[in-house]
């Protein structure tokens, strides 16, 4: 046993960071890009006949060739142009009733014209594709990506033709045991090209990535870096913040990386004042503009400290489902409405569960002044002993940190949710926590832990993973899965750690409009009663510094079939899928109002 654990440590610690897609380019929306969104022709391929031959070997005559009969006797048994189409961005499940439960492969094809420019490089960028994507350009494979919630890009400069081109993407959302997430999860397995697709045109040597944030613990010193596309050394890089009259120049080292540090008299970003500055990063050939807020976030004992002052995180958990239509959210508008519902609840914080949401969500949170908990789908019981699973989880963590590290709203990286205690799991997740800490020393690391009873009336937070976290998250369902609402009144909370706690899930289900007494399951009164008892229990927890009840909106889940009540929706929302408020919404709204007032005193 000890030998295998030692072996696990060695594996995880010494594993090189493997990259499949080319290094991520950040801040795509402010670059010169050509959208490929819109209708894409699709072939629904449950048996993956377009990929494997009848011996189940990858076939070289697959659908990626987009072959056409050249003479009347030719045998081609597929034709994208005469096939139906699906909207991109968008999950496929809610675009056609026949695809609602569909879990396998769909091939997407998009033809486009491109006018190549000599001195430019071109990348194809995907906001996300759930779950495994293989990408082909003009019949040639250009790369693949695993993980349904993070961006990836491939260079296509040499593969693009002048004039008409076609891109084909095989997207497969089959769940796999070694996956992240694994086979079992409580949300809809929306498949497809769920976020934007575009071509990004950049100069020969371009600004690929940068981190422009305040140094940990400082309110005026920026400490960061700018990474150029290649390993060009001694290249000039300038960071300007015109509003503050800042213009600082730096040189790249042998890896094309310029360390950046300078002081500024910043108006600090906060929920009360979500101040964003235009930041201009330029190099010899390239210039990128971004809107960045500057704030400091730390922990001191049980306190979460924002810009030097303790803060209580009045939050709500959210799944990435659109408030406007069925299915996955992806647009600025989706994000704005979801966050406005959260604001109506008097929130200053949201937990984006259980996977990285789209970039629009964190950019809108930046502008609306909503603090964010971001999470990767290390959810329930994944394969802790699998090297591949660890690499997959770490890559998803790496991709979301890369994409969102300049967002002031994002304060917490969560490395997982409700994962069972074991030595392997502890090694796996503590390594993820360390990876996040190394990659982004500025933010706080957390995870949603499970609670354990010390005795009948005492719950204790003693998960060994707590040692590796800055902030403890804990999910509890006292009053729903665990007893009836009144049980909350007799529960005391203890913790092993001198660290702040966020109660990352609590609540219960209710069918909107179903009214009865407080002991009738599924009635709004039962749910309301849970919240009444919960908030008075929560108020007694001395080390509690935030709450994100489960959940803002009723959401689709294949685990919830109860007819006429759930109908494949998890009904724990405080509002329905159409935004109708349940009685419990007002309990939480009032609780946060009271909290807000007490802290303003
Ligand atoms: C779990 C889990 C959620 C799930 C919720 C529920 O705690 O983290 O993903 O939806 O409970 O049972 O409703």
Which helix (H) or strand (E) segment holds residue 44: the answer is strand 38-45
Output the CA 559–ligand 1 centroid distance in Å: 10
Ligand 1 atom closest to Cα of residue 570: 13
Mean pLDDT of 579-600: 94
- What are the pLDDT digits (tens) for 387-412? 999 999 999 999 999 999 999 999 99
Mean pLDDT of 291-305: 98
> Whole-prediction pTM value?
0.96
The answer to whether the CB of 393 falls within 8 A of the CB of 425 is no
Q: How far is CA 55 from the centre of its chain?
A: 38
Return the SS3 of 346. coil
Ligand 1 atom closest to Cα of residue 354: 9
Specify the pLDDT at position 504: 98
Question: What's the DSSP call for residue 319?
Answer: -
Choice from 186, 351, 482, 530 to test ligand 1 binding pocket (greatest atom count within 8 A of CB): 186
Specify the pLDDT at position 601: 53
Q: How far is CA 310 from the centre of its chain?
A: 26
Output the CA 202–ligand 1 centroid distance in Å: 43
In whole angstroms, how far apart are CA 471 and each of 3, 100, 297, 408, 591?
32, 38, 12, 18, 22
Specify the pLDDT at position 557: 98
pLDDT value at 149 more than 50? yes
| Residue 158 CB contacts under 8 Å (≥ 6 apart), including other chains | none
pLDDT value at 16 more than 80? no
Specify the pLDDT at position 18: 43
d(C-alpha 190, C-alpha 106), whole Å = 12
pLDDT value at 232 more than 70? yes
Give the phi and the psi of residue 88 in degrees, each rounded to 5. -125, 130
Residues within 6 Å of ligand 1 by CB: 186, 354, 417-418, 475, 505, 550, 570, 572
Among protein residues, the one whose CA lies closest to atom 9 of ligand 1: 186
Mean pLDDT of 542-558: 98
pLDDT value at 1 more than 90? no
pLDDT value at 17 more than 60? no
């Amino acid at each position: 046993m000890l030998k295998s654990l030692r072996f696990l440590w060695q594996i995880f610690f010494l594993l090189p960071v493997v990259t499949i897609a080319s290094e991520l380019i950040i801040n795509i929306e402010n670059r010169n890009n050509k959208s490929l969104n819109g209708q894409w022709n699709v072939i629904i391929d449950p048996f993956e006949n377009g990929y494997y031959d009848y011996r189940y070997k990858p076939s070289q005559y697959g659908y990626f060739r987009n072959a056409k009969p050249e003479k009347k006797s030719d045998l081609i048994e597929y034709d994208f142009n005469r096939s139906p189409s699906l909207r991109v961005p968008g999950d496929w499940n809610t675009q056609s009733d026949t695809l609602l439960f569909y879990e396998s492969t769909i091939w997407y094809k998009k033809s486009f014209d491109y006018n190549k420019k000599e001195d430019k490089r071109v990348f194809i960028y995907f906001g996300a594709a759930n779950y495994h994507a293989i990408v082909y350009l003009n019949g040639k494979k250009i790369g693949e990506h695993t993980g349904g919630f993070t961006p990836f890009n491939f260079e296509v400069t040499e593969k693009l033709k002048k004039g008409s081109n076609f891109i084909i993407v095989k997207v497969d959302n089959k769940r796999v045991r070694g996956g992240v997430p694994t086979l079992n999860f409580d949300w809809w397995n929306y498949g497809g090209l769920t976020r934007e697709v575009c071509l990004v045109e950049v100069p020969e040597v371009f600004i690929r990535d940068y981190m422009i944030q305040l140094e940990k613990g400082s309110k005026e010193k920026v400490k960061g870096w700018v990474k150029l596309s290649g390993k060009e050394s001694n290249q000039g890089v300038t960071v300007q913040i015109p509003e503050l009259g800042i213009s600082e120049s730096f040189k790249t080292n042998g890896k094309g990386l310029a360390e950046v540090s300078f002081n500024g008299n910043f108006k600090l970003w906060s929920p009360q004042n979500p101040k964003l500055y235009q930041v201009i990063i330029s190099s010899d050939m390239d210039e990128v503009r971004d809107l960045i807020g500057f704030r400091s976030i730390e922990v001191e004992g049980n306190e979460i400290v924002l810009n030097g002052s303790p803060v209580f995180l009045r939050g709500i958990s959210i799944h990435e489902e659109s408030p406007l239509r069925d299915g996955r959210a992806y647009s600025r508008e989706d994000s704005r409405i979801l966050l406005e519902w959260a604001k109506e609840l008097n929130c200053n914080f949201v937990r984006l569960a259980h996977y990285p949401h789209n970039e629009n969500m964190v950019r809108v949170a930046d502008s609306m002044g909503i603090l964010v908990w971001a999470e990767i789908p290390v959810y329930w019981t994944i394969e802790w002993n699998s090297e591949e699973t660890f690499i997959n989880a770490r890559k998803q963590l790496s991709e979301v940190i890369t994409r969102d590290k300049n967002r002031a709203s994002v304060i917490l990286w969560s490395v997982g949710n409700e994962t069972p205690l074991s030595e392997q799991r502890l090694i796996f997740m503590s390594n993820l926590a360390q990876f996040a800490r190394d990659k982004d020393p500025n933010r706080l690391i957390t995870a949603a832990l499970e609670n354990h009873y010390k005795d009948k009336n005492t719950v204790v937070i003693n998960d060994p993973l707590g040692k590796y976290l800055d902030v403890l998250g804990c999910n509890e369902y006292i009053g729903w899965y665990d007893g009836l609402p009144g049980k909350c009144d007799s529960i005391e909370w203890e913790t092993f750690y001198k660290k702040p706690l966020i109660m990352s899930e609590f609540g219960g289900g209710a069918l909107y409009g179903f009214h009865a007494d407080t002991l009738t399951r599924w009635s709004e009164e039962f749910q309301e009663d849970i919240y009444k008892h919960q908030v008075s229990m929560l108020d007694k927890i001395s080390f509690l510094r935030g709450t994100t009840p489960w959940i803002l909106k009723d959401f689709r889940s294949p685990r919830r079939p109860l007819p006429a009540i759930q109908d494949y929706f998890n009904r724990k929302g405080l509002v329905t899928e159409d935004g109708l408020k349940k009685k419990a919404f007002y309990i939480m709204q009032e609780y946060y109002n009271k909290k807000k007032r007490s802290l303003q005193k």
